[in-house]
Amino acid sequence: MNEFLEQEEQVLKMIKTVFDPEIPVNIYDLGLIYKIDLTEPGVCTIDMTLTAPSCPAGEFLVEDIKQKVGSVDGIETVNVNIVFEPEWSKDMMSEEAKLELGML
Position 1 pLDDT exceeds 60: no
Residue 104, pLDDT score: 79
Range 61-66, long-range pairs (CB < 8 A, 24+ positions): 61/18, 61/20, 61/27, 61/32, 64/18, 65/15, 65/18, 65/27
**Structural domains of the chain, ranges and CATH numbers in brackets:** 3-88 (3.30.300.130)
Closest by CA position to 65, among listed 9, 20, 24:
20
**Which pLDDT tens digit goes with each residue over 3-54?**
778 999 999 999 999 998 889 999 999 999 999 999 889 999 999 999 888 8
User: Taking a C-beta distance cutoff of 8 angstroms, is the pair 16, 28 a contact?
Assistant: yes
Residue 39, pLDDT score: 86
Please give the full DSSP string across 62-96, using - where no structure is assigned.
HHHHHHHHHTSTT--EEEEEE--SSPP-GGGS-HH
**Which pLDDT tens digit goes with each residue over 53-69?**
888 899 999 999 999 99
pLDDT band with cut points at 50, 70 and 90 for residue 88: very high
